[in-house]
Structure 1
Amino acid sequence: MRGADDDSPSSLLTTITKFLDSNVRLTRNLLYGIGFIGFVVAVKNSGLTHIITCASDIPGSFIARKVRVRGFVEAIGTRGIVHVQHRPVLNIVPIKWRPKSHVQLELALVDISPPGSKWLQDNISQKIIWFQPLSVSDSTVQANIFQWKYILPQSINVMLVGKGICKVKDLTSEQLTSMSLTEEKLLEQLLHQQMIASEKERGMWQIKDKETKGSIISSLKNSLASIAHFCRKVKRKITKK
């Protein structure tokens, strides 16, 4: 006859513990299996093995989670379009079976110039880069592109504007109000770097004559207007909170 406390939680725990102790090999294999399944799920959710063959293959979760994607720059096209072959960090599919990928990237919020396009050609063509997609259209990805310098990733978008090679793209009020938080932070960085470049007369901001000076002042006014609109938008968000 079973005792009154045989069905108690402590009794059940004791039974399970004795079973696991007497089946050490089974317990170890079970733990290995659980760990492997957890690893597979984590890798899948990280996007490290997801194959991107074109812009439309980029999941919306990549944008929301700020995932950075690894790629090989095949060529720099017209208007500074960066043609990239996606190369996942974990290549679980053999190269010969992997679909050919071709992703077209545009430097987000940057008005690319001929010197900027040449810089891209000279510095990142045929090299590995990382890109963080910010928005996706049918054929191109607006992205923040990174290259590794020493041990840290450096934003090429911010670098080109800071060098005075390119300037911040002129945005409409509708584009400014529809920006994501990530895009707003990038825009803030770009405008800050552009202001520094103009103050130090780097690249295109070098003043050579009155006509050029007038053009620069006009560009700066547009940039300052964008900054003011951006600040008002941030203030409205803070006020609502």
Structure 2
Amino acid sequence: MAEPQGQPANYLARISEWADSHLTVLRNISTGMAIAGIILFAKSIKLTTKFTSALDIPVEFIEKNVKLRGRLCHITEKGLEVEHVPISLPFLSSLQRKWQSNGVLLVRLAGVELTPNAMVWLQEELKPAQMMWFQLLGREDLVLDCLILVNKGRFFSVCLNEEILRQGLGKTTRIEGLHHDSPLYWKLHKRLLQAELKALKKNKGIWKEESYFEKLRDHISNNKFVQKLKQFANWLRIHI
């Protein structure tokens, strides 16, 4: 009768012995299943997807004002051409690159009307292949309206939308893509107006006041009597 009672114990001992001898295999299987689960989850919410067109970005991302990471490619009159850099998974970055296609996103600084000098400033301030974050606020065809953040040093970041206004290189406009009565709209619009006000107080950029001599020169040159004298002088030069 002792032998039947010992059979379950023998089975357990054999199972335990087999598990000990195949412990590495079991660990690899569990690790593989965990990684596969992470990949499937990340792909399901498009965290690892590289967006090469504004139309590829899910509507939910724009509605929730998701921040995406990107690398600057070109500065154009229409906006910044940015290559989206998605989240990379450990040990799978090389495999991810094989899945990804090439293309850039056209990103526009939301709520800001740029001056020609703003383009020059951007080209001077931004480095080639500069890494940046852009927060999605709206989408118009193939253009994304965003807040753009760039790192300045290790612990400091700058919002380009605000900085351009602080430098007097643009004017505040309506933030496209956000509802006019939403709290986020007025929160961001207030920030942009405050940045513009700083430039106005410091007479920077387009808000720079002309000096007394510049005003006097313009007044004289625009005077009708002076203009007639110039015309008469030109007539004399031609006919004498």
Fold shared, TM-score > 0.5 on shorter chain? yes
Structure 1 Cα separation of the partners of residues 83 and 177 of structure 2: 29
Are 2:151 and 1:153 equivalent residues in the alignment?
Answer: no
Q: Counterpart in 2 of 1:99? A: 101
Q: Secondary structure, in 3 states, of the residue corresponding to 1:133?
A: strand
Deviates more, 1:146-155 or 1:28-37: 28-37
Matches within 5 A, 1:111-150: 111-124=113-126, 126-127=128-129, 128-150=131-153
Point out where structure 1 has 5 or more consecutive residues left out of the alignment: 1-17, 214-241
> 1:82 corresponds to which letter in structure 2?
L
Point out where structure 2 has 5 or more consecutive residues left out of the alignment: 1-11, 216-240
Structure 2 Cα separation of the partners of residues 181 and 34 of structure 1: 43
The one of 163, 167, 176 aligned to 2:167: 163
> 1:187 corresponds to which letter in structure 2?
H
Residues 117-175 of structure 1: CA distance to partner in whole angstroms, max 9, x if unpaired? 11122222522222111101111110111111123332111111112222212x49x98
Q: Secondary structure, in 3 states, of the residue corresponding to 1:74?
A: strand
Q: Secondary structure, in 3 states, of the residue corresponding to 2:203?
A: coil
Kept in 1, the 8 Å contact 2:49–2:100? The answer is: no
Q: How many angstroms does 1:189 deviate by?
A: 0.6
Matches within 5 A, 1:151-230: 151=154, 152-169=156-173, 171=174, 178=180, 180-208=182-210
Are 2:85 and 1:82 equivalent residues in the alignment?
Answer: no
Structure 2 Cα separation of the partners of residues 93 and 38 of structure 1: 16
Structure 2 Cα separation of the partners of residues 44 and 202 of structure 1: 47
Structure 2 Cα separation of the partners of residues 30 and 93 of structure 1: 21
Compared CA separation, residues 38 and 112, structure 1 to 2 (3 A): same
Q: Secondary structure, in 3 states, of the residue corresponding to 2:96?
A: coil
Kept in 2, the 8 Å contact 1:56–1:137? The answer is: no
Equivalences, count: 190
Spell out structure 1 runs of 4+ moving beyond 6 A.
Answer: 26-31
Structure 1 Cα separation of the partners of residues 177 and 52 of structure 2: 28
Q: Secondary structure, in 3 states, of the residue corresponding to 2:50?
A: coil
Compared CA separation, residues 76 and 125, structure 1 to 2 (3 A): farther
Q: Counterpart in 1 of 2:52? A: 53
> 1:103 corresponds to which letter in structure 2?
L
Q: Which has the larger radius of gyration?
A: 2
Structure 2 Cα separation of the partners of residues 41 and 31 of structure 1: 15
Structure 1 Cα separation of the partners of residues 57 and 185 of structure 2: 17
Compared CA separation, residues 179 and 101, structure 1 to 2 (3 A): farther
Residues 8-61 of structure 1: CA distance to partner in whole angstroms, max 9, x if unpaired? xxxxxxxxxx9xx96685986786467445533553466431121111111122
Q: Secondary structure, in 3 states, of the residue corresponding to 2:42?
A: helix
Kept in 1, the 8 Å contact 2:139–2:177? The answer is: no
Structure 2 Cα separation of the partners of residues 158 and 206 of structure 1: 18
> 1:84 corresponds to which letter in structure 2?
V
Aligned-residue sequence identity (percent) comes to 28
Compared CA separation, residues 46 and 122, structure 1 to 2 (3 A): farther
Q: Secondary structure, in 3 states, of the residue corresponding to 1:53?
A: coil
Kept in 2, the 8 Å contact 1:168–1:194? The answer is: yes
> 1:88 corresponds to which letter in structure 2?
P
Q: Counterpart in 1 of 2:62? A: 63
Structure 2 Cα separation of the partners of residues 150 and 45 of structure 1: 34
Structure 1 Cα separation of the partners of residues 177 and 144 of structure 2: 16
